[in-house]
Each structure stands twice: as structure tokens, then as C-alpha cells.
Chain A
């Protein structure tokens, strides 16, 4: 067990080291969400007056953009596995005497960590958006970010563990991830959406993630009744669904990866 933890650590360490070394990726991962918040936020705000939304548009918009940013970060970090395979590095890992499941967990946690770093930095701009901030809120938000990015990263691993080419990754991410993002409730509240859309969103784990972020981040600014108007599910349900999804997807991705050789 100790040895497994050690390998897990080293795979994780490599992922994080490569992320931090890649300064361009590091910078854009912070810059882009802020850009979206400033421009999209200011632009869309005019279309959602307070009378419709019950709250300031940025308050509604921020948790959604945060959730999507960290999800994109997590899923694109798992792309390193395709990269590793294409450039052969996966062989170097697979030929070493370590268990496959530690490779998987190390990869997932590595991707999760990159998302957590990004999430933490984005959370720091909360006070400048007119949302009330506290240390406790930060910790709670980080926990939710962990749950979301872990699930998305594990899903990413499941999708890419058989891929041989970089190009296939963008197809997969568009085909699977884009609908998840649009139906997550990040851009518009889903409780007023058409029934078919709400039904589809019901099966979208990202929807629960975004809702959970909204509950936590707005907890000090809005009343519970106000938050429930812009979310579809309760915080408790969100956390349960996220946990269940993460367990299931970890199990699946480990199984699929064990079967793929290199």
C-alpha cells in the first residue's frame, strides 16, 4: 500500500510539475475566465435585469464560469495521457514495476490539482465582484471544486485511455463535454428552461456541480430562498450526486485503462 501511494505521488508530481513549467498554459488558464467574466458579464448583465434574476447578474454568472473553467482545466489536463502515448512516455511508465491503478489515480489527482490551483486563484477575485467572501467560504468552495474537477478528470481519463491521436481528443471533448457545459446551468438558469432541456440537465453531473458552487459561493451574499430560485437542486443532493458520480467513474476508468496496453 505504501508503495502504491508513493507511485501515486510520483505520477501526480510529474503532472503538476509539467503544468507549472508550462507558463503559457498556466497564464491562460487564469486569464481567460477573468476575461469572460469581465466582458461577458458586463454585456449579458443588461439582458438580465434584477427583476428577472432576483440577484446581481455577476453573482449568478461567477460560479458558473468558475465551474466551467476548472472543468475545462481538468479535462484538458487528462489530455497529457494521449500526449504521453503519442510521444511514447506512457511506455516508460507502463514498463516500470508499478500498478496500473496508481497510474490512473495519480493522473486523475494530478489533473484535479491543476484545476484546484486555477480555482483557488479565480476565487481570490470574489471580493472585487461584489460577492461577500470569507475563509470558510473559500474552503467550502475548494472542496466543491475538488469534487467537480475530480469527476471531470476521471471522465476525461475514461474517454482518452484508448485514444491514440491528439486530434481525436478535441472531437471527444466537443462531442461529450460541450453538451455537458451548455446543459450545466452556467450560462442561464435551468429552472425556467423548457421541460426537455431540464430533463436532459437532470442527468448531467456538471449541472449538480455548478449548483453546488452557487450554493457555497453565494452563501454569504444571498438568502437560501434567493439561491434556490437560481439553482435546480439542493446542496445536499448536489454533493451526494457528485460523490456517487466520482466513485462510479473512477471504477470505470480504472477498468478500461487496465485493459488498454499502450
Chain B
């Protein structure tokens, strides 16, 4: 493995010109009988924020593990920063920073010691380490806590420290595996503020997975993963266009009659059952709403007009909600 990484260093000069920092082709991974990834292909451009969405068990963490060289695919190829994840794993490891799903810090040690150990593992020089430590700790408002043991930190503080740790070796690509899971909404927003500001400042590529669709709206592009297959890949705006301009949720005394009447009067629009409600996709919702109310005879119990969210996109494509408790 080591002699291959030497080859990797020789082509380092070309690395800066790469436009697609992650390339994945037909990735397959099986765990005994469970198929985790069933032919996944995508690519991520330099400087992009790329989001991988999917319910639990869709294969998000498997994908990240393969890209981070923690796990090997059964077939298919993946390149990170121009390096093959299987044959040039050390070069890949040098190019990436990781924030794992679970919190991974040495609790007995101080914030500073945690950063120091990481910087040493990545061969960061002492001068660079001191300078970056100062900049990042100050930026993430942990400078005053640098000599405090991590065990006393709150969840949000730990996450910020992990973010700093992942960045202390200036990676080309930052992997974030559900970075805000288990945090309260306020802390979540703050974490994202840090991530996006840092990204602009340092021009790093960000690859993230999340279950919070509101957070995914901030991505440049999103891939939706379901049962080991990518079912959609586009910008959040384009994905939402699939659904249409506006959607109306309608609940009446007799939904079946309402559905039949709707289909007869407005054959151009589609109507669909979502649970106990009817969902209508329309172009110009605010003008259509009064027409709809007049056109339907069963008594209306509730009616709601809104712009489609990614949650609706997800529901449309996969047929289930992203965080289904059942």
C-alpha cells in the first residue's frame, strides 16, 4: 500500500486541477445477506456542498465508509481527490476530514490535547498546528474552553470540537455523517453556520448525509438514496420542480367523491392519496385554491396550500417518509 501512495504523491501536481473531487461508479456492497449498496454512481464537483439523503439503512454510512477507506466495496470503483479508495488509501486519508455520526473524542483529555493528537497523526507541523488551532477554536467560540476536559462539554460543544478536529489538517474534502443528529434546533443552526462560513473561506468540498430535510435545502446538489440505489440526483430547486409549483392538501367528508369530481373537472392536474388526505399538484396555487373549493361538493374539513419541500420530494420518489417511526 505504501509504494502506491508514493505514486500518488508523484501525481499530486495534477490534483489541484481536478474538477470532480469524488467519482463513484457502480459501487456495490453486501453484508452477508443484506445488500447495502446496489450499484451506486455519482460524482461531486470541487467546492460543492453535496448531500446524501435517505432513510435509516439506505446505505448512506456504507457509502461514506467506503469513500473514507474504512470499508471496501465488493465491486465498483471510487476516487476521492483523484485517488483510488482501495489502492491509494493513504493518499485518500490525507485528503479528507471526517465528522462521524457518533461523537468520538477522548473524554479524559482537554480540547487542545484532542486537537494536538489529531494534528500529529496527520503530520501537521507544529507552527501550522498552533496557528490553525487558534483560528479555528476562536472561530467556533471554543478558545476559552481549550484547556478544559472534553467530558464536561455539551453535545453542541463536542460537535464543534469534532468539526475543528476534522479541519485542523486542512482537508480537501470534509465528510459529515449526520453532523447535527441529536442536537437541538438552535445548536443545529449554529453548526451549519460554522460549516458554511468555513466552506466559503477555505473553498473545501463538503459531502454530508442528513435526515433533516430542511438542512439538505442548503446543499448545492442532493442525491436521494433508497435501499442501496440512488433514486434522484439534482439541485434542491430542480428536485422540487418534479413535484410542481405548489401543492394543496385537502381533507373532506368524503375523499373518494372529491377525488372523482376532481379528476372529472381538472384532468390536467394529478391527485393522489397521502394517508387520509388528498394531494393536488398545481402551477398557480393561490389562484387555483378558490376554484377548487367551489368545484368540490363534499364538505371540506381542512385545506392547505404550500410550496413543496424536500420532504414531499422524498415522499414522491421513495413512497415513504424519511424518518418513518413505524
Contact = CB atoms under 8 A, between A and B. Distances in A.
Do chains A and B stick together as partners?
yes
B106 A96 contact: no
A46 to B, nearest CB: 43
Contact of A94 (B70, B109, B113): B70
Nearest to A102: B121
B123 interface: yes
A14 B117 contact: yes
A121 B276 CA distance: 74
B29 to A, nearest CB: 13
Contact of A97 (B102, B103, B122): B122
B304 to A, nearest CB: 42
Contacts of B109: 14, 17-18, 21
A44 interface: no
Contacts of B313: none
A91 B120 CA distance: 16
Given A14-B106, A92-B100, A92-B104, A99 B2 contact: yes
The residue in B69, B100, B121 that gathers the most chain A C-beta atoms within 10 A of its C-beta is B121
A261 interface: yes
Interface in B67-81: 68-71
Contacts of B258: none
Nearest to A94: B70
Contacts of B176: none
A10 B104 contact: no
B117 A98 contact: no
A89 interface: yes
A10 B121 contact: yes
B113 A98 contact: no
B104 A96 contact: no
Interface string A242-262: 000000000000000000011
B104 A97 contact: no
B93 interface: yes
A2 to B, nearest CB: 10
Contacts of A10: 117, 120-121
Interface in A1-16: 3, 6-7, 9-10, 13-14
A18 to B, nearest CB: 5
B108 interface: yes
Interface in A93-109: 93-99
A49 interface: no
The residue in A13, A87, A92 that gathers the most chain B C-beta atoms within 10 A of its C-beta is A92
A3 B121 CA distance: 9
B104 A18 contact: no
B121 A7 contact: yes
Contacts of B104: 87-89, 91-92
B45 interface: no
Nearest to B92: A97
A13 B119 CA distance: 13
Given A92-B100, A92-B104, A262-B70, A97 B117 contact: no
A6 B93 contact: no
A91 B98 CA distance: 10
B202 to A, nearest CB: 20
B118 interface: yes
Given A10-B120, A92-B100, A96-B118, A18 B108 contact: yes
Contacts of A9: 120
Contacts of A87: 102, 104
A22 interface: yes
Interface string B93-128: 110101010111110110001000110111100000
Given A10-B117, A92-B118, A262-B70, A18 B106 contact: yes
A97 B9 CA distance: 13
Nearest to A13: B117
B68 A22 contact: no
20 contacts: A6-B120, A7-B121, A9-B120, A10-B117, A10-B121, A17-B108, A17-B109, A21-B108, A21-B109, A89-B104, A92-B98, A92-B104, A93-B121, A95-B69, A95-B96, A96-B121, A97-B91, A97-B121, A97-B123, A99-B2
A-B residue pairs, 8 tightest by C-beta:
A97-B93, A96-B121, A88-B104, A10-B120, A21-B108, A97-B94, A97-B90, A88-B102
Given A6-B123, A94-B70, A97-B93, 12 more contacts: A10-B117, A18-B106, A18-B108, A87-B102, A88-B102, A91-B104, A92-B98, A95-B93, A95-B96, A95-B98, A96-B122, A97-B123
